[in-house]
């Protein structure tokens, strides 16, 4: 580098752009899954006596310090109490039991971790929601963050990377009458 060129300046770091990496809200507690179809008669019918037997014989200790996601992958009609029995049996071991899809469970965990985040800090700022992460951030998390940032009054919202982003929102300029 010659003296005429001067020092290399990182214009991105000098910009007013604030980056939020949503992966910071990821909960890295291990997740185990339990498909209760194996507890059903022919994987389709809930027979209480047999179901309770499966619950009693199942090794619940394998879920120690894990989140447990419970679901049924067949088209069986499963009574609510069946899932309640799983939650009761897993309670001494699992950190928490979730029912439903993996995406819904992940969204719930992200939302909990984002609950106390200071979105108002970004009022009047240019915000970039980082697009590339080491972990999969569900789309619903981006939608949730977008809503929170718009409510907070961001001036501009973008998605992606600082060097290559997609504009999402730009606060409209006030007309002369509004000023």
- Express each pLDDT in 3-45 by its tens digit: 567 665 444 444 589 999 999 999 999 999 999 999 999 999 9
Do 166 and 148 sit in the same domain of this protein?
yes
Give me the pLDDT at residue 14, please: 44
Ranges assigned E (strand) in the chain: 17-20, 31-35, 67-71, 96-99, 126-130, 156-161, 164-170
Chain centroid to Cα 140, Å, comes to: 7
The pLDDT assigned to 9 comes to 46
Strand partners, 159: 129, 166
Residue 164: closest CA among 141, 131, 139: 131
Is position 5 within any domain?
no
Indicate whether 155 and 139 sit together in one domain: yes
Shared-domain flag, residues 17 and 40: no
- Name the band, by pLDDT with cuts 50, 70 and 90, for residue 133: confident
Q: Does residue 38 sit in the same domain as residue 78?
A: yes
pLDDT for res 11: 46
The pair phi, psi for residue 127, each rounded to 5°, is -120, 135
Give all strands (DSSP E) within 36-144, no chain letters: 67-71, 96-99, 126-130
pLDDT for residue 97: 98
Domain count, the chain: 2
- Do 120 and 75 have their domain in common? no
Are residue 37 and residue 89 in the same domain, yes or no? yes
pLDDT of amino acid 2 = 53
Q: Which of 9-13, 14-18, 125-129, 175-179 has the lowest mean pLDDT?
A: 9-13
Q: Tell me whether residue 153 is in a domain.
A: yes
The pLDDT value given to residue 173:
80
**Residue span of the structural domain in which 74 resides:** 31-94
Residue among 110, 117, 119 at smallest CA distance from 28: 110
The predicted pLDDT at position 174 comes to: 72
**Residue 162, pLDDT score:** 85
């Amino acid at each position: 580098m010659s003296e005429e060129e001067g020092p290399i300046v990182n214009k991105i770091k000098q910009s007013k752009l604030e980056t939020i990496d949503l992966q910071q809200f990821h909960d890295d507690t291990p997740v185990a899954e339990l498909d209760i179809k194996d507890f059903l008669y022919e994987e389709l019918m809930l027979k209480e006596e047999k179901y309770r037997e499966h619950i009693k014989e199942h090794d619940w200790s394998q879920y120690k310090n894990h989140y447990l996601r419970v679901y049924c992958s067949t088209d069986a009609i499963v009574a609510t109490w069946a899932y309640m029995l799983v939650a009761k049996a897993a309670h001494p071991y699992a950190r928490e039991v979730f029912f439903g899809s993996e995406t819904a469970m992940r969204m719930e965990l992200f939302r909990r971790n984002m609950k106390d985040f200071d979105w108002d800090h970004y009022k009047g700022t240019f915000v970039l929601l980082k697009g590339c992460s080491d972990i999969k951030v569900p789309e619903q998390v981006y939608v949730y963050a977008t809503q929170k940032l718009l409510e907070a009054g961001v001036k501009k919202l973008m998605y992606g990377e600082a060097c290559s982003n997609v504009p999402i929102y730009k606060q409209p300029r006030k007309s002369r009458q509004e000023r």
